Chains A and B, each alone.
Chain A
Amino acid sequence: MNVRVSRAKMGWLGLYAATYLTFIYLPVLLLPVFSFNDAIYVAFPIKGFTLKWWEEMVAHEGMLQSLRNSLKVGVAVSIISTVFGVLAAKAFTRYRMPGSRALTGFFSIPLVIPLIILGIALLTVLTTVGVSLSLYTIMLGHVVICVPFAMFIMISRLEGFDQSVEEAAQDLGETPWMTFWRVTFPLALPGIMASMLLTFTISFDEFLLAFFLAGDQLTLPIYIWGQLRFPKKLPSVLALGSAILLATTILVTVAMMFVRRKGD
C-alpha cells in the first residue's frame, strides 16, 4: 500500500477520532471537576476547591442504600446471566443442532427490543401473575437483557479453542464432569470473567427496566434521577457519579483485558 496515502488518511482519521472523543468525554470529564467545585450550581466559572460534596455523598444514607441495592442486583445478575450464557454458548458451539441460527437470533431479541417496551411487557406479565415488585423483579429484567451479551462473549471464547481437547480429556480417562473442570472451565475462564464484569456493568447503570420493575427499594440510577429535582443535592450526585465513573472504567478495562487475552 502507498505509505503517503495511508498517512494522509491517518491524518483525517486522527482528526475525526479527536473530535469524537472530545464530544463524548468532555462532558463526562466535567463531572469530577464540578464534584470538587465549591458551588451548588453547575456552571462556569469554577468557584473553588471543596470536598464537602464528597463528604455529603458518603454520609447520605438513601444514596448509599441504593448503591448497595445496585451492587446486590449487579452481582446477582452477572452470576446468573453468565451461567446461562455459558450453558447456551456450550449448546450452540458443541452440538450442531438444526435451527441453531434461528435460536441464537431468538436469544438476542432482547438486544433489539426497545427497553421501554420490554419494561412494560415484563411489568404487565409480573403484575398479572401477581408477583410484587422488588429487587428480584429488577434482577429478572436485567438477566433478560444481559444473557445475550454473556452468550455472545462465551460463544466467541468457546469457538476460539478446539472441541477435540475435550475429547482428548475423555480419551485420557476423565468423565465429562471432570473434563469440564479440568479443560472446559479453565479455557473458558477469561470469557467468564469478561462476561461477569460486562453484565455487572450493564445491570449497574440500567435505568429504564429498573424504573419499571422497582418496588420500594431503588437502584442507584433511579435514586439519582429522583435527586435531580433538588438542585442542592446535585453536587453530591456528581461526586457519586465521579466515583462510579472511576469504578466502571476500571471494571471495563479489566474486562477488556480478559477478552483480549488469547487462548493461552
Chain B
Amino acid sequence: MPDEAFISILDVSKHFGPVKAVDRVSINIAQGEFFALLGPSGCGKTTLLRMLAGFEAPTLGEIYIDDQPTASMPPYQRPVNMVFQNYAIFPHLNVYQNIAFGLRKEKLSRSDLDARVNEALALIKLEGYGTRGANELSGGQRQRVALARALIKRPKVLLLDEPLGALDKKLREQMQIELRQLQKSVGITFVFVTHDQEEALTMSDRIAVMSEGHVLEIGSPEGLYERPRTRFVADFIGTMNFFEGRVRAREGGKIAVDAERVGEVQVPADDYDFNAGDTVVVALRPENIRMRPGRPDLTANMAHGTMSNAAYLGDRAHIYVQTEGSEQPILVAMQNLDGAASSATHGERSVALQWSEQAVLLLRPE
C-alpha cells in the first residue's frame, strides 16, 4: 500500500442503465507509480480510465487526483492526459502540429515551441518526422506520436488505454521496455490498461486485477503471481493447475489436504486459517512441478501419471500428465535446459510428479 495516495478512487461505481461497468472500486495510486489495470475484455478497465480522464462521471463514489476532488472538473482542466486505445491522432494535422496541439494555451514563442516539440520528437525517436502527415505513419509511430502529444503537456498522470494492443509482438515487447524506461525517466504516474497479463507483469509496479466491474486483487507482479488470493487471479495471471480438496488435518505446523488426482498435499500451516473439514482448492504452477521417469513409492506432495501429450515451445515444453481415473491432465512446464525438454517429450511415458510444500497454494473455493 502506498503511504500517500496521489490518485484516490473511493468506492466508485459507473452504471450504464442496467450494466454495472464499474462496481464499487477503490484504488489508491502513489505518485510516480506504474499502475496497471488488468482484466478480460468488458471488465470495465476503459470505463474506469475514462472516469479518471473526466469523460465519464462516476454514478457513485469519488475520485481525488492530487488531493483535488474531480467531480466538477471537466477533462480539459484535469492534470491528466490520455493515450487513447486507437491513438486518436488528429488526421488533419501533421506530426508537429499533433504534438504541439496541447501547447496553444501556453502561448509560447515560435522558438520555444520548436524547442519543446523537437525535444518531444527526440524523446520518441522521431526526429525529422515533424512534417509527416498523420496518415503517413506506421502503427508504432502513431503510438509514439500519441505518447509525445500527451507527455508534452507535462501531466501529473498519464493514462494509457491498451496503447500497445495494435502492435505486433516484437514491436510490442520493444515498446514495453521503452515505455517503462520513459516512465522512470520522466517520473510521471502511469495508469496503464491492458488485458495482457504478461504485459502487466513485465511493466508494472502494481496491478489491479478486474473482473466484471470489480477489483479482485491489487498487488505487485510477484505477489499476484506467487501468492494470488482468488482463483480468478490465480487462473488469469499465468497458468495454474487446480485440484479440489478437503483439509484432513491441521497439526505439527502443517495442513494436510486430500486432493483429487494428486492425493495427499502438505502445506505449511502459518499462511492459512483453514481447519480440518474445510473444502479448499489446491493450486500448483506448472513450472513448480518436477517430473521424472519411473514409479517410486508415493509420499505427500507426489503423484503418479502417464505422459499423454507434449507441446514443444522452444525455450520450454508443456507436458500433459494423465493421472489414473481422471480425464483432466496435469500441466507440467519444463525448462529446455540442455535439450531436457525435447528428450523428456520422447522418453519414458510413466512418470512421477513432485513439488515442494512452498509451491502449493490453498485457495478458498468460489
Which residues does A use to contact B, with CB under 8 Å? 161-162, 164-165, 167-175, 182-183, 186-187, 263-264
Q: How far is the CA of A186 from the CA of B90 in the complex (A)?
A: 10
Dominant SS among interface residues on chain A: helix
A163: nearest chain-B partner, CB-CB: B88
Is A187 in contact with B91, judged by CB distance below 8 angstroms? Answer: yes
Give min CB distance, A182 to chain B, whole Å. Answer: 8
Q: Is B31 located at the chain interface by the 8 A CB criterion?
A: no
CA distance A187 to B93 in the complex (A): 10
In the assembled complex, the Cα of A168 lies from the Cα of B104 at a distance in Å of 14
Residues 66-92 of chain B, each 1 if its beta carbon lies under 8 Å from chain A, else 0: 000000001111001110111011111
With A264-B133, A264-B135 given, is the CB distance from A170 to B88 under 8 Å?
Answer: no
For residue A167, give the distance in angstroms from its CB to the closest CB of chain B: 6
- In Å, the complex CA distance between A264 and B135 comes to 7
List A contacts of B133 (CB < 8 A). 264
Shortest C-beta distance, A260 to chain B (Å), equals 16
* A183 to B, closest residue via Cβ: B90
Answer whether A170 and B86 are a contact pair too, CB < 8 Å, given A187-B92, A263-B91, A264-B135: no
**B88-104: contact bitstring with A at CB < 8 Å (1 yes, 0 no)?**
11111000000001101
> Bound complex: CA of A6 vs CA of B102, how far in Å?
53
A167 with B76: CB separation less than 8 A: no
Bound form: Cα–Cα A173–B106 in Å: 11
Partner of A171, one of B75, B86, B89, B104: B75
Asked if B170 CB lies within 8 Å of chain A CBs, one says no
Question: Across the A-B interface, how many residue pairs have beta carbons closer than 8 Å?
Answer: 65
Asked if B91 contacts A168 (CB within 8 A), the reply is: no
| B107 interfacial contact with A, CB 8 Å | no
Q: Which of B80, B88, B104 is in CB contact (< 8 Å) with A164?
A: B88
Question: Given A167-B55, A169-B101, A264-B133, do A175 and B88 touch, yes or no (CB 8 Å)?
Answer: no
Which B residues contact A (CB, under 8 angstroms)? Answer: 53, 55, 74-77, 80-82, 84-86, 88-92, 101-102, 104-105, 133, 135, 149-150, 153
Cross-chain contact of A173 among B84, B90, B102 (Cβ < 8 A): B102
B102 touches A167 (CB 8 A): no
Known contacts A171-B81, A173-B76, A162 near B101 by CB under 8 Å: no
8 tightest A-B CB contacts, nearest first: A172-B102, A168-B88, A164-B88, A170-B75, A165-B88, A171-B82, A170-B76, A186-B92
A96→B92 CA distance, assembly (Å)? 25
A263 to B84, CA, bound (A): 19
CB distance from A145 to the nearest CB of B (A): 31
Instruction: Tell me whether B92 and A264 are in contact (CB under 8 A).
Output: yes
Q: Are B76 and A174 in contact (CB under 8 A)?
A: yes
Q: CA A161 – CA B149 in complex, angstroms?
A: 19
A167 and B91 in contact, given A172-B81, A173-B102, A173-B105 (Cβ under 8 angstroms): no
What are some 5 contacts across the A-B interface (CB < 8 A)?
A168-B149, A169-B101, A171-B81, A173-B105, A182-B101
Q: List 11 additional contacts besides A173-B76, A187-B92; criterion CB under 8 Å.
A: A165-B91, A170-B76, A171-B53, A171-B81, A173-B102, A173-B104, A174-B104, A175-B76, A263-B91, A263-B92, A264-B133
Residue of A nearest to B78 (CB): A171
